[in-house]
Amino acid sequence: MAGRIPIRTRIGIVGAGPAGLMLSHLLASAGVESVAIDTRSRQQIETTQRAGILERDSVRLLVDSGVSDRVLREGHEHTGISLRFSGIDHRIDFQELIGASTWLYPQTEVFTDLADARARDGGDIRFGVRHTEILGIDDARPRVRFTDADDIAYELRCDYLVGADGSRGLSRNQVPPAHRHQYFREYPFAWFGILAQAPPSANELVYAHSDRGFALISQRTESVQRMYFQCAAQEDVDDWSDDRIWSELQARVAGEDGFVLKQGPIIEKTVLPFRSFVQEPMRCGTMVLAGDAAHTVPPTGAKGLNLALADARVLAEVLERAIRNNDSSVLDDYTTRALERVWKAQHFSYWMTTMLHRHPDSSDFDARRQLGELHSVISSEAGSRYLAEAYTGWPST
Ligand code: DHB
C-alpha cells in the first residue's frame, strides 16, 4: 500500500504485555533500540485480571533492572503455601526448605510498572494498533505493517522480530507448519475466578483438594480477595449467583479445623481456560517467540508470567549478542535455553493440576491415590523441597 510511513528499528516487538515490555526495557538498557506494538489499549491490559505470584528471580529482575521497587513496598512476601486436603492445612515452608520466597504482586501491577518505565525512558510503545501483518520472517528483512488509532499506516522494518502477542496472537502461526511442532494438551475442566470485596481469610495461598474439586484462596489487598474454584470447561458465569459461589467455595475448604472464608460482594466473575501448549522451536528465521505466544501453562502454580519474564531476560541477552556480532545463529541458543525452563514449568503446572483437581471420570481409587500423593509430598522432605524449588522458580541460567 502506498503511503505507509516507514519506521526503522533494530528489534520489532509484536505484543506489549509483560514479555514484550520487559524485553524492550532490557534491550534499551543494553543500548539496543526497539519498537513494540499491541492491538489492545493500555487500559484494556491494565484492567484484565491475571495471576498474582512472582517467583524469586522475577522479583530480582524487576528490581535489578530498575523497572520498579514497588513490588518490594506494595507486594507481599510469601514464605510458603498451604496444601489443604482432607480438611486440614499442611504448610510447605519455602524459607525453611530452601531459603526462598515468592511475592504476591499481580501481573497488572507488573505491566503498569513496565509501561511506566518504558514511558519514563522514552521507549517507543504503541498501544491500540490495528490491522497488524507480519512479513518476511524467512529473510533478512522482517517487517510489521499496522495502522494506528488515527488510521495512519506504518511499516516497521527491523533486524529481528519478536512475537510476544500471546496465545491468540498472530505471530506463532506465521511459522510454516513444516517448520514447527505444536504440543497441545486439553483439560476437561476450567477455573472460575472471582474478585470479592472481603478481608483476607489467610496470610498465604491455600491450594485446596476436595471431593468437590479444587479451590485456590489467594489475596489482592486488605479489602479485595482473589479466589478460584475448579468448574466445567464450558461453565457459564451467569449460572453462578454470589450465594451459589460462596457455598461452593466454603464447601471446598471446609474442615475439622473450622476454616471459613470471609465473604463479601463479588465484583468480578470469569472462567479461565485451561490448557498446556508449546511451540517448538521458538525461532524461525529472523523471528523469535516469547511468553504465551510460544507456550501456555494451566494456571495452577502461576508460572505463565514468570516464564514470560524469564524468556525476555534470555532473549535480551541473545538479541544483543546477535546484533553486536551480526550473527543470527546465536538465536538458536535462546530456543535451547528457554525451552528447558518451559518444559520444567509445563511439568510442574501439569503435576500440580493433576494432583489437586478432580477429573470428571475419576474413580474413588483416583481420589485416594491423589491423597496418597499429597501425603507423600508433605511427609517427604525431598517431595516438599521439589515443590518449593519449582514454585519459587528455578535459578536463572
Ligand atoms: C494466583 C493465580 C494462580 O494461578 C496461582 O497458582 C496462584 C495465585 C492469583 O491470581 O493470585
For cell 471459613, name the residue. 260
Asked if residue 18 is part of any domain, the answer here is: yes
From residue 301, give the alpha-carbon distance in Å to each of 16, 53, 282, 309, 350: 24, 8, 23, 15, 9
Asked if the model's pLDDT at residue 222 lies above 60, the reply is yes
Q: Give nearest CA residue, ligand 1 atom 10.
A: 51
If you average pLDDT over residues 177-186, what whole number do you get? 96
> Is 391 among the catalytic positions?
yes
Q: Are residues 52 and 197 in the same domain?
A: no
Decide if 203 is inside a domain. yes
| Helix, strand or coil, per DSSP, at residue 53 | strand
Query: Is ligand 1 within 6 A of the CB of residue 218?
Result: yes
Kindly state if the Cβ of 51 falls inside 6 Å of ligand 1: yes
One domain for residues 195 and 130: no
**48-to-109, 117, 233, 310, 374 alpha-carbon distances in Å:** 11, 20, 20, 22, 33
Which tens digits make up the pLDDT trace of 351-362? 999 999 999 999
207 has a pLDDT exceeding 70? yes
Task: Please indicate, yes or no, if residue 208 is contained in any of the structural domains.
Answer: yes
Q: How many domains does the chain have?
A: 2
Q: What confidence category does residue 18 fall into, taking pLDDT thresholds of 50, 70 and 90?
A: very high
Atom of ligand 1 nearest to the CA of 300: 6
**Domain of residue 266, CATH code:** 3.30.9.10
Distance from the CA of 148 to the center of ligand 1, in angstroms?
34
Q: Is 75 in the pocket of ligand 1 (CB under 6 A)?
A: no
Q: Is 35 helix (H, G, I), strand (E, B) or coil?
A: strand
Q: Indicate whether 369 and 324 sit together in one domain.
A: no
3-state secondary structure of 75: coil
Q: Is the dihedral of CA 106, 334, 56, 355 positive or negative?
A: positive
- Do residues 146 and 259 both lie within one domain? no
Q: Is the CB of 226 under 6 A from ligand 1?
A: yes
Give the C-alpha separation, 341 to 330, whole Å: 18
Is residue 228 domain-shared with residue 377, that is, in the same domain? yes
Distance in Å, CA 38 to ligand 1 centroid: 25
Please name the residue whose Cα sits nearest to atom 7 of ligand 1. 302
Same domain, 371 and 316: no
Residue 263, domain member (yes or no)? yes
**Active-site residue identified among 154, 207, 228, 334:** 207
- Whether residue 80 lies inside any domain: the answer is no
Confidence check: pLDDT of 397 > 80: no
Ligand 1 atom with the shortest distance to the CA of 304: 4
Pair (148, 280) in one structural domain: yes
CATH number for the domain harbouring residue 339: 3.50.50.60
Check whether residue 166 and residue 198 sit in a common domain. no
Q: How far is the CA of 299 from the centre of ligand 1 (A)?
A: 7
Q: Is 303 among the catalytic positions?
A: yes
Residue bearing the bigger pLDDT, 336 or 139: 336
Give yes or no for residue 53 CB within 6 A of ligand 1: yes
**Atom of ligand 1 minimally distant from the CA of 191:** 4
Query: Measured between alpha carbons, how far apart are the two ends of the chain, in Å?
Result: 44
pLDDT digits (tens, 9 = 90+) for 288-307: 999 999 999 999 999 999 99
Q: How far is the CA of 337 from the centre of ligand 1 (A)?
A: 25
Q: Mean pLDDT across the stretch 143-147?
A: 98
Calculate how far, in angstroms, residue 217's C-alpha sits from the geometric centre of ligand 1. Answer: 8
> What does the pLDDT look like over 50-91, one tens digit per residue?
998 999 999 999 999 999 889 999 999 999 999 999 999 999
CB of residue 302 inside a 6 A radius of ligand 1: yes
Looking at the domain assignment, is residue 199 inside a domain? yes
Residue 95 lies in a domain: no
In this structure, are 164 and 49 located in the same domain? yes
Same domain, yes or no, for 118 and 169?
A: yes
- Tell me, in angstroms, the distance from the centre of ligand 1 to residue 49's CA: 11
Residue nearest atom 3 in ligand 1 by C-alpha distance: 302
Q: What is the mean pLDDT of residues 25-45?
A: 97
Residue 2, pLDDT > 80, answer: no
Which atom of ligand 1 lies closest to the CA of 49? Answer: 10
Separation of alpha carbons 125 and 9, rounded Å: 12
- Annotated catalytic, 269? no
Cβ neighbours around 212 below 10 Å, total: 15
**343 lies in the same domain as 330:** yes
Ligand 1 atom, smallest distance to 104 CA: 11
Q: Is residue 93 part of a domain?
A: no
Q: Is 123 left (phi over 0), alpha (psi -120 to 50) or beta?
A: beta
- Catalytically annotated residue among 154, 187, 334, 391: 391
Active site residue 187: no
Q: What is the pLDDT of residue 216?
A: 98
Q: Are residues 217 and 167 in the same domain?
A: no
Condensed to tens digits (0 to 9), the pLDDT of residues 229-285 reads: 999 999 999 999 999 999 999 999 999 999 999 999 999 999 998 999 999 999 999
What is the identity of the amino acid at 80? Answer: G
Beta strand extents in 136-208 (DSSP E only): 143-147, 153-157, 160-163, 181-186, 190-197, 206-208
How high is the pLDDT of residue 396? 85
The residue whose CA has the least distance to atom 2 of ligand 1 is 51
Q: Does the CB atom of residue 107 touch ligand 1 within 6 A?
A: no
Residue numbers of the domain that contains 132: 5-73+104-183+275-352
Q: Is the pLDDT of residue 159 over 70?
A: yes
Question: What percent of the chain stands above pLDDT 70?
Answer: 99
